[in-house]
């Protein structure tokens, strides 16, 4: 069945939502049984798409086309999603609140707890061969560049990095040759990849790590939008092994407030911060909020741990704090290019019981904030850890420690990304051990209000 243009229909509870974003489908097949169940003129049943094996779900609609126009919408059934068939009239699509799509793919149904990938992203692959020859490939359309590299260069190489890149938006790239940072670049689309690939000509042992500046997957913030939040300290980009940074490299050379040639504290916009208000070497956000405030899962995910930990600390409401770790996996096809992040919550006074491996969905309540453990006041210590395409590994699996784990995890990133006017994320490009590129993971309107952080 040709699907060169069309529109997806996604089910949200009992509501059918038309969207131009790719959504997961179970299986597509012509639906002939319902071909006469409509009020319009005769239709071509091959243009009807239906999802099999989902008879108990809410009502959705599948589209049909006749004589080059969308004549009717036939009612279908699906527990997940359905798909509007090809060549529907664009004006009919717009009348239903969506734009026609010129090209799209049917995504595989993600594993429970994973996140359907946003549109507009491609793939990259960095491979290294025993001779020291390195190859960087990319495909902005989301195909399989690793397979292309192997087809062109033969087997025997190893995939060093493989993940997502923005097809047209901003990306960052760092190239390390024989373990040392050779060069880094930032730019739109494939531009910085081409730059680093060209610059690596003649060098051996080069590994290219790429990251989009934005990957909007977090649907809500960790706290209610109605809660009064007092932002405290945030993520410091000048933490060990980086001791100081020259913020003129990030566009603040002429600023008396944010400019410094040896800043010990640098925020996600590349600005110097004062030690009176920020904590040096902090790798998370402290969000001051009243005791008993609900905390939420940011998106679909899987529970790594939901536990009580005796920190042995004094001065708070008690030494035993609640902690929650949720793994969020962005599902790609093939899964070689999946990207994974862990959201971690600390100082909780109440936990909703959840076993390791349990699925959570955006908005699920994880627990209540408190002033527990090593804390000097009621707040949520909120951290995000990157598990894929980090400075010194293709991937790693976070192991929740037995001791106090509030701060200092390797590969901790800023979920607001790297938003400096110029320059490349120093934590991702300079920290060769434990570093990782930060990514703006919030969907529009989802990020917590960070007050003066956004100035």
DSSP string, 258-294: T--SSBS-B-TTS-B--TTTS-TT--SEEEE--TT-E
Residues 6+ apart with CB under 8 A from 339: 163, 164, 215, 329, 330, 332, 388, 389
What are the angstrom distances between the C-alpha of 317 and each of 276, 313, 348, 376, 407? 25, 10, 11, 9, 20
Q: Classify domain 217-454 by CATH number.
A: 2.70.70.10
Give the pLDDT confidence of 156-188 residue by residue, as tens digits: 999 999 999 999 999 999 999 987 778 999 999
Rounded to two decimals, what is the model's pTM? Answer: 0.76
**Burial track 73-98 (b if 16+ CB lie within 10 A, e otherwise):** bbebbbebbbbbbbbbeeebbeebeb
Query: In a 3-state reduction of DSSP, which class is residue 382?
Result: strand
The predicted pLDDT at position 409 comes to 80
Closest by Cα among 436, 115, 116 to 302: 115
Task: Give 11's strand partners.
Answer: 16
Closest by Cα among 210, 38, 222, 220 to 140: 210
What are the angstrom distances between the C-alpha of 41 and each of 96, 193, 234? 20, 52, 61
Residues 6+ apart with CB under 8 A from 406: 284, 346, 347, 373, 374, 381, 383
104 CA to centre of own chain:
20
The predicted pLDDT at position 202 comes to 87
Which stretches of the chain score pLDDT less than 50? 1-90, 92-94, 96-110
φ/ψ (deg, to 5) at 93: -60, -45
Q: Which residue has the tokens 């190239």?
A: 175
| CATH 2.70.70.10 domain range(s) in the chain | 217-454
The predicted pLDDT at position 361 comes to 93
Q: How far apart are CA 109 and CA 106, in angstroms?
A: 9
Give the pLDDT confidence of 33-47 residue by residue, as tens digits: 343 343 333 333 333
């Amino acid at each position: 069945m040709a699907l060169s243009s069309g529109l997806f229909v996604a089910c949200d509870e009992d509501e059918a939502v038309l969207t131009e974003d790719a959504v997961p489908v179970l299986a597509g097949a012509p639906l002939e049984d319902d071909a006469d169940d409509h009020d319009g003129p005769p239709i071509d049943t091959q243009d009807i798409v239906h999802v099999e094996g989902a008879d108990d779900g809410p009502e959705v609609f599948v589209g049909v086309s006749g004589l080059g126009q969308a004549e009717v919408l036939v009612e279908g059934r699906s527990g997940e999603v359905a798909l509007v068939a090809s060549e529907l009239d664009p004006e009919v699509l717009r009348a239903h609140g969506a734009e026609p799509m010129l090209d799209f793919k049917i995504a595989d149904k993600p594993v429970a707890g994973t996140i359907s990938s946003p549109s507009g992203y491609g793939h990259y692959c960095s491979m290294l061969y025993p001779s020291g020859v390195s190859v960087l490939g990319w495909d902005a359309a989301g195909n399989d560049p690793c397979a292309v590299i192997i087809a062109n260069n033969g087997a025997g190489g190893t995939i060093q990095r493989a993940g997502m890149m923005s097809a047209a938006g901003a990306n960052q790239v760092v190239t390390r040759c024989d373990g040392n940072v050779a060069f880094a670049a930032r730019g739109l689309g494939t531009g910085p990849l081409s730059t680093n690939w060209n610059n690596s000509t003649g060098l051996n042992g080069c590994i290219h790590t790429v990251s989009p500046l934005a990957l909007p997957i977090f649907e809500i913030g960790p706290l209610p939008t109605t809660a009064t939040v007092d932002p405290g300290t945030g993520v410091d980009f000048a933490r060990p092994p980086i001791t100081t940074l020259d913020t003129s490299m990030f566009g603040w050379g002429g600023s008396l407030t944010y400019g410094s040639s040896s800043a010990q504290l640098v925020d996600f916009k590349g600005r110097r911060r004062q030690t009176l208000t920020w904590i040096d070497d902090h790798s998370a956000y402290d969000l001051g909020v009243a005791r008993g405030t609900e905390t939420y899962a940011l998106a679909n995910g899987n529970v790594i741990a939901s536990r009580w930990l005796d920190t042995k600390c004094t001065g708070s409401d008690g030494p035993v704090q609640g902690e929650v770790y949720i793994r969020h996996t962005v599902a790609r096809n093939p899964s070689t290019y999946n990207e994974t992040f862990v959201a971690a919550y600390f100082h909780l006074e109440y936990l909703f019981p959840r076993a390791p491996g349990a699925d959570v969905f955006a908005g699920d309540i994880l627990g209540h904030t408190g002033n527990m453990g090593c804390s000097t006041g009621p707040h949520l210590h909120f951290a995000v850890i990157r598990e894929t395409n980090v400075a010194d590994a293709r991937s790693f699996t976070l192991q929740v420690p037995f001791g106090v784990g509030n701060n200092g995890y390797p590969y901790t990133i800023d979920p607001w990304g790297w938003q400096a006017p110029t320059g490349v994320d120093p934590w991702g490009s300079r920290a060769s051990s434990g570093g990782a590129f930060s990514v703006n993971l919030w969907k529009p309107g989802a990020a917590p209000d960070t007050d003066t952080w956004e100035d």
